Structure 1
C-alpha cells in the first residue's frame, strides 16, 4: 500500500500506544502523520504488507510513500520531524547502537499490556483529529 502522507500503525487497545498517539497529536502541529490502529482493515493490511504479525506485531510501524520503518528507527524518524527538543531525542536515540535499542524496545512491546495496561476497545480519536485516522 503506497501512501503520500506518513501513516503510523499502532495498537488501538494498548494504553502505551494510545499515549504515544495522543503525544503525537499534541506535538505534530503540522499534522504530518496519519494513524491506523492495527485492529482496523487499513492497519491490518499495512502490517501484513510489511511482514509484521497483524495480531501481535511487537513493533512500531511507520509507512511513508513506499518505504517503511519499524522499531526504534521508526520512532526516531517520527521524533526527528517534531522539532526540538524531540529531534534532539531522536539524535540521541540514533547514537545508541541498534543492537541495544531494538531489543530493549521489543522487550517493552512484548510486555506492553502487562506493564501499561490494555483498553477493552479502541479509543475514539479526539473530534478535532478524526480526519487523521484511517480505518
Structure 2
C-alpha cells in the first residue's frame, strides 16, 4: 500500500521517502555549483515535454544492464519506456533530478515525469510497463519486503562486472 502525498518537486528539499512498497524521490533536486543553485526538475523538464514516457537509466558499459535493456525492449511491444545511459549528459542530469550524484552508476533508475524509482523499486516499476506476464509478476514481488529486495539487488549490482563483465562502450 502506498501513500501518495500531494507534493510537487518544488515544495520540499530533495530526499528519499519510503511509503508502503514505493520508494520515491520527491522534491526539488538542488545542486550547489559555484554558489549557484540548479533546479534539476526544471532543467530536465524538456525530457518530458513532447514525450511523457518514463526513462530507464542504466549503466551503459555493464553487460548485465545492456542485456536488461534488450530484454525490456523485446518485451515492451507498445514502446512504453525510453532508455538513457547513466554515463550520458542526459543521464547525469536525470540522476540529479532523482536526488542522486551525477556519477552514481550503482543502480538502475526509472524516471517518470513526477517521480523516480531506484534499485528494486525501479525494476518492479519497469515490469509494470512491459508485456504480460511481467506486470503480474511485479504485483507478486511487491510483497517481498523492500529491504530484502534491495539486499538482493545490491549484491547483484555490486558484483555485476565480475559476473557479467563490462564492455568498452554502450552498444545501444
Q: Same fold (TM over 0.5)?
A: yes
SS of the equivalent of 1:95 reads: coil
SS of the equivalent of 2:168 reads: coil
Question: 1:98 maps to which residue?
Answer: 146
SS of the equivalent of 1:43 reads: helix
TM-score (norm 1): 0.85
SS of the equivalent of 1:9 reads: strand
TM-score (norm 2): 0.68
Q: Does 1:42 align with 2:42?
A: no
Q: Does 1:84 align with 2:132?
A: yes
Q: Does 1:31 align with 2:83?
A: no
* Aligned structure 1 segments of 4 or more residues deviating by more than 3 angstroms: none
Question: 1:132 maps to which residue?
Answer: none
Q: CA deviation at 1:57?
A: 2.9
RMSD: 1.3
Larger radius of gyration: 2
Q: Distance in 1 between matches of 2:158 and 2:148?
A: 16
Equivalent residues in 2 for 1:52-131, closer than 5 Å: 52-123=100-171, 125=172
5+ long unaligned stretches in structure 2: 1-43
5+ long unaligned stretches in structure 1: 126-135
Q: Distance in 2 between matches of 1:53 and 1:14?
A: 19
Q: Is the Cα contact below 8 Å between 1:47 and 1:57 reproduced in 2?
A: no
> 1:65-123 CA distances to partner (integer Å, 9 max, x unpaired)?
12111111111111122242111221122011101011210121121111111001111
Higher-RCO chain (CA-CA 8 Å, sequence separation at least 6)? 1
> 1:23-48 CA distances to partner (integer Å, 9 max, x unpaired)?
11111000111111011110111112
